[in-house]
Amino acid sequence: MTDNTDATPSQDENRLIAERREKLQARRDASDNPFPNDFERDSTAAELQARYGDYSKEELAELNMKVAVAGRLMLDRKPFSVIQDMSGRIQIYSTKEVQKEIKDWDVGDIVGVKGTLSKSGKGDLYVVMEEYQLLTKSLRPLPEKHKGLVDPEQRYRRRYVDLIMNEDTRSTFKVRSKVINHVRHYLTSRDFIEAETPMLQVIPGGAAARPFVTHHNALDIDMFLRVAPELYLKRLVVGGFEKVFEINRNFRNEGLSTRHNPEFTMLEFYQAYADYNHLMELTENLLREVTESVFGEAHFSNGVRGENGEIVDHVTYDFSGPFRRLSVMEAILEHNPELTEGQLSDPEQAAKAASALGINVKDGWGLGRIQTEIFEETAEHRLTQPTFITRYPTEVSPLARRCDDDPSVTERFELFVGGREIANGFSELNDAEDQAQRFREQAEEKAAGDDEAMFYDEDYITALEYGLPPTAGEGIGIDRLLMLLTDSPSIRDVILFPAMRPEKG
């Protein structure tokens, strides 16, 4: 068997594929239905292990339990072979007579087996093959067991093979499903209404990001894949849905990295008559419960990777709460003790300080943008334990409500864990005239060449003019949260089918 990790099949692999095609053709010639669909499974591997794993061989013999299992043939070491289903693996046992009848079976084939459940001398459950069917012939050989599918690029491109071969991969995506289900239950149990908002939008809004552009032929207009559902969800709050959320796919036409994929999953939720302090408390509770659901406790450890990706240390994250809270200004001063609040409060001095830190200050940046860049370059990556960073400058928060005690900053927070942004939330701006002015400023920045600046959304302003109650909203990056919970170094590890450059040829 060859190691099928290359994009182009080897000579040995092509030979094996040809042999398997010959076996399939022989089945076609001998049967009208080489892909039968009448096998009825009554048990999975995990179910049998849970029910009968503690039985002795003698107890199982006395029970004489007949079962029907099905799955992919993973190991073929007759008389004992191993099949794998969604829940796990179980052995099947074949006599010499049976082996003669299944000599055209290959590792990778999908088979169904009915027979008596028994246990080996080593304590492993197995099914004696009494009735058996080849359900699907696998024409391509699986990678060798001792190598697996190890090339990361091929794992992402051929996720179906990765899922077959790697238990860690299957575990990661089971955790993903569990987390999303828990998040949905957490919100719906607190009277949040789940909504669906447009993915195709005439005006993309809700985030500072470059959108994908497409064209609607019937309407003869350009449209955009959404960068965020925020403005539509807040329209729903205007309409009276006072607690609303969406687990959504967003699309941003930006670069690829270990933390960025052009298509990604976000949770966004909005609550009327609440502010950003309420959402920080909700977030602490939600993430504590999610962590406990995955690990059984509110603590978990991840590896610390060196320059070559090898694990050189471990860090334990504590989600039991309460999380630490710092303003942007406090975080900068904590990690840059040579700076003073006076320097950071003066545009000219702040620009000089940023330049001294190696930050390229661009024309048109105001004081708030400079402060934010200093924070992102010098403090963000040092926030290991869960930390809320609050009071972001108004200049970089076009949708957030200004702080009553200082209009230059907003009632906004971002949550960082392990140096990564996990969530972004704020008290919503519900002043239609203030929002209109900020949209105009964003439009000016877009006209000046900023592809990520927001459009002016006139209909959203109209919605605000009908009246948005005091509201707080938040977005949590599901993919980044999963990276943290599964100790995955790349966002591609937690997305089933990440964006990839097409293979040559």
Annotated binding-site residues for Mg(2+) read 414, 421
**Known binding site: residues?**
414, 421
Label residue 452 exposed, middle or buried (CB < 10 Å: 0-12, 13-18, 19+): middle
DSSP structural state of residue 229 = S
Burial (CB < 10 A; 0-12, 13-18, 19+), residue 47, is middle
Phi, psi of 16 (to 5 degrees): -65, -40
How many CA within 13 A on the CB side of residue 261? 23
Residue 323, φ and ψ in degrees, nearest 5: -80, 150
Nearest partner of 250 among 195, 211, 194, judged by Cα: 211
Beta bridge partners of 473: 270, 426
Residues in the chain, total: 505
CB 119 within 8 A of CB 126: yes
Q: In what order do the strands lie in the sheet with 200-201?
A: 200-201, 221-225, 213-216
Q: Which amino acid is at 40?
A: E
Q: How many helices (DSSP H) and strands (DSSP E) are in the chain?
A: 16, 21
Closest CA to 386 of 418, 412, 424: 418
Query: 210 to each of 203, 206, 218, 281, 321, how far by Cα in Å?
Result: 12, 12, 25, 31, 35
Q: Are 48 and 92 in contact (CB under 8 A)?
A: no
Quick one: which of 148, 163, 182, 146 has its CA closest to 5? 148
**Taking Cα atoms as reference points, which of 64, 489, 413 lies closest to residue 258?**
489
- With vertex at residue 290, the alpha carbon angle to CA 285 and CA 292, rounded to the nearest 5 degrees, is 95
The first and second tokens of residue 142, run together, are 């699986």
- 445, with CB counted inside 10 A (0-12, 13-18, 19+), is middle
Helix (H) or strand (E) holding 112: strand 110-119
